[in-house]
Amino acid sequence: MDIEKILAEMTREEKAALVSGTDFTYTNPIPRLGVPSLCMADGPHGLRKQTGTGDNGVSRSEPATSFPTASCTASGWNPDNLRKMGEAIAEECRHYGVHVLLGPGLNIKRGPLCGRNFEYFSEDPLLAGVMGAAMTEGIQSRGVGATLKHFAMNNSENYRFMGNSVAGENTIRSIYLRPFEYAVRHASPSAVMCAYNRINGTYCSENRWLLTDILREEWNFSGIVMSDWGAVRDRVAGLKAGMDLEMPGDTAICRRRILDSLTDGSLAVEELDKACRGILRWIEKYRTDGDGAPVDWDAHHRLAGDIAADCAVLLKNDGVLPLAQNEKLYITGPLYEEMRYQGSGSSMISPARLTSPKDAFEFHGIRESSLDECDKVLVFCGLTDEYESEGCDREHMRMPEDQIRLIDEMCGTGKKVILVLFGGSPVELPFFDRVSGILNMYLPGQNGGSAVYDLLYGFKNPSGKLAETWPLRYEDFPACRTFGKGVCEVYSEGTEVGYRYYGKHGVPVRFPFGYGLSYTTFEHSGWTKDGDSYLQTVRNTGDRFGAEVVQLYLEGELRGFEKVYLMPGEEASVRITPDERDGTAYPDGYDVPEDSPSYPVTLESRMTDLGRSFIGRILLGAMLSVAKKQERDALKMPEGSERQNALKGALFLKRILESNSPRSLSMSAGKSLPYNFACGFVEMANGHLLKGLRCLTSKITVPKLPKEE
C-alpha cells in the first residue's frame, strides 16, 4: 500500500470518514482507493466477536474461549501465562477475521469497589505493566493488534462517562500512567484506547498533554489512538490533541464538524492527514486474509484451566486441604453448579465450552454426602453479577446476605467448613475465624471447575499471590467516603494507593498485597546486592512440587518479582534487577472544581438526572424499557449459559443506560440516536418542548460514506 499516494488522492470527505469507525467495530473502507477496513472486537480475557453486523448487545457473540480475567491472571505473578493466553486469543481472532483485540486493560485498582476491577490487573503499577506487556506480546506475536485501555484514570464506573479525575501530576505519572508506560516501552502495542473521563477538567479524548506530549513524544508511541466507544465530545479538538480514530463512529455530527472546520480553517488539513496516515499504516500492518484459520478449542480449554489453577490464591488452610479422595463431603452454595467464571459487561464471552465445579466433580466420581454424615463442608460462594458489573460500582464490600447466612449456618454445624470463592474483587469476611479453609478462584474462566478440582484434591498446588490488598472492611480504604459518589473524583490519597497506604499508616488488613499460601513450604535467604541487581535463594522445604513468588521491595514499593517452580528439596537462585524509575520531581498539587448542579440537565449529565423532571422521566423510562424487554426475553430462554449471558447482558444494558450521558450515548449509538436527538431530549427534559422539537427535526446532513458511493 502506497500510503502517501493514497493520502494525496483522498478527498476531504474520505479523510473525514477514515478517522471514524462504522458498523460498530470496523474502520471505514475507501473502496475507490483500495483501502480495506479493519475489524476490532472486545477483549481483554477472550474474544467477543459479535454475530451479525452492527451492535447487537453484549450477549450475542461467536463461541470463544473464556479465559481467566485479569484479577485472576495477575494473581499468578507469571507473565508467561499472559503471553500464552494472548497467543491463544489471537488465534481465535484470526479464526473469526478479527484484526485488533480491544485489550489488555491496565487501569489501576484504586479502590476495592470499582465494578470493573475484574478486568484490571493490580493496585501496583509495575505488576500491572508487566502483565499487560506480556499479554500484548502474546497477542501481537500472532499478527493481531493489541489495544491498551482505558487511557487513563478510568478507576471507577458510576460516573465514568462524565467523571473528572482530579489529581496531581506526580500521582498521575507515578501510579496511574506507569502501567501504560511500561507496556508501551516494552511491547509496542498497536493501539491505545482513550478513556471516557476527564483528567483535571479535560476529557481524555481531547487531552493533548496525555495523548501527544506524554504518549507520543515522551514514550515514543507510534501506534494509533482510538476513542472508547462513545468517548468523543469535540471531534476537532480530539484530532488536534492526537486522538486518531473515533469509535464506534457513524456519527454524522463528528464528520460534519470536521468538514466545516476544514472549510473555515479552524482545522488544518495537515492535522487531519496526520491521523489518516497513522490509520492507513495500522490497516496495512494488521489487515490480513487469514480468516478461518483453525483453532484447537480443546487445547485452549485446557490452557484456560491450567492458568486458573496457577493463579488461584489459597487464603486460609487449617490443615483441611488438600482433600483426600475418600473424604465424605457436603457440598452447597449457589456457585457450585452455576460457577461465576467471568464478569458482566463488554468483555462477556460466549464460552466455547464450560466446565463447572459440579461438572468436574461428577466427571471424577466425587459423590456428595449428607450434612449429618460428612467429614467436611464445601461452600461455593462469592460475588454474583448483581453485585459486580461494568457500568456501576459496588455499593459495599460485603458478600450477598443469603450467602453469609448459609456460611454461618454451616459453621454452626461444628463441621470443618471450606469456602471456594468466586468474584472479581475483595470481599469482607466476617466469618474468617470460623471457617477452616478458603480457596479464592477470582473469575477463573470457562474451565475453572477443572482447576477447582485439581487444587482442592492436591493434584495441583495453589501458588497465586494477591495482586491487591484485601482490607478488613471497606471503611479502611482511605477514600471510602468519596469513591464513586459524584462527578468530581478527587484522588486525595495521592500516591498512597493500596499497600502503600496500609503499610505506611500501619492499618491492619485481612490479607496483604502479595499474600498467598501453598501446600508446601519455602525457605528464603536474605537479599544480597550484586551491582544493580539483587540476589536471593529460594528452597522448597516441603514434600510437594510448588511455586513461590520472589518479590523485591525497595523503599516500600514493589520493584521486581519472579515466580519459580521447585520440586521438594530443590532450590533456585533468583536475580532481580529493579525496574527503572523516572527520577524527575513532578508537582503534586491540584485544584478542586465545584460540582456542577444535577439540574438543569446538559449533554454531560448522568442519564438518571433526566428523572428530575416529568418529561425526563418519560424519556428515561422509554430508554430503560429496552433493557427490560431484553430481560423478559432472556427469562423465556431455557436454562444454560446462553440464558445466563442474556440476563447478564440485560442487566449490563440497564446499568450502562443509567450511568451514560446524553452526549456519550449518542456518540456510541450512531444512527440510532443522532446527536440532534440527544440535544432535543436535553431540552425537553428541561421543560423546553419547542426547542426540543426543533432539535429533533433538525437533521444533520453529511455526504455519503465512501462505502455507500
Give catalytic residue positions.
Answer: 228
* CA distances from residue 315 to 4, 53, 518 in whole angstroms, order as listed: 58, 45, 9
Take residue 383 and report the three cell numbers written for it: 460475588
Residue 100 C-alpha cell reads as 485488533
CA distances to 610, 624, 662 from 616, rounded to whole Å, are 4, 12, 12
Cell numbers representing residue 132 in the block: 499487560
Instruction: Provide the β-strand partners of residue 547.
Output: 565
CA distances from 333 to 340, 356, 363, 401, 441 (A): 12, 13, 19, 13, 15
> Rounded to whole angstroms, how far apart are CA atoms 504 and 497?
10
Show the 3-state SS of 63-83: EECCCCCHHHHHHHCCHHHHH
Give the Å distances, CA to CA, from 200 to 32, 491, 589: 43, 11, 11
Distance CA(666)–CA(671), nearest Å, equals 8
Q: Which residue has the cell 482510538?
A: 226
Cell of 475: 471503611
In whole angstroms, give the CA distance from residue 97 to residue 91.
10
3-class SS at 204?
helix
CA–CA gap between residue 100 and residue 382 (Å, rounded)? 33
Spatial contact of 118 and 159, defined as CB atoms under 8 Å apart: no
Element (H, E) at 611: none
Strand 488-490 to 164-166 pairing: parallel
Half-sphere exposure for 359 (CA within 13 Å, toward CB): 12
Phi and psi at residue 161, to the nearest 5°: -75, -25
Whether 95 and 294 have beta carbons less than 8 Å apart is answered as yes
The SS3 assignment for 681 reads helix
Residue 360 is placed in which grid cell? 468436574
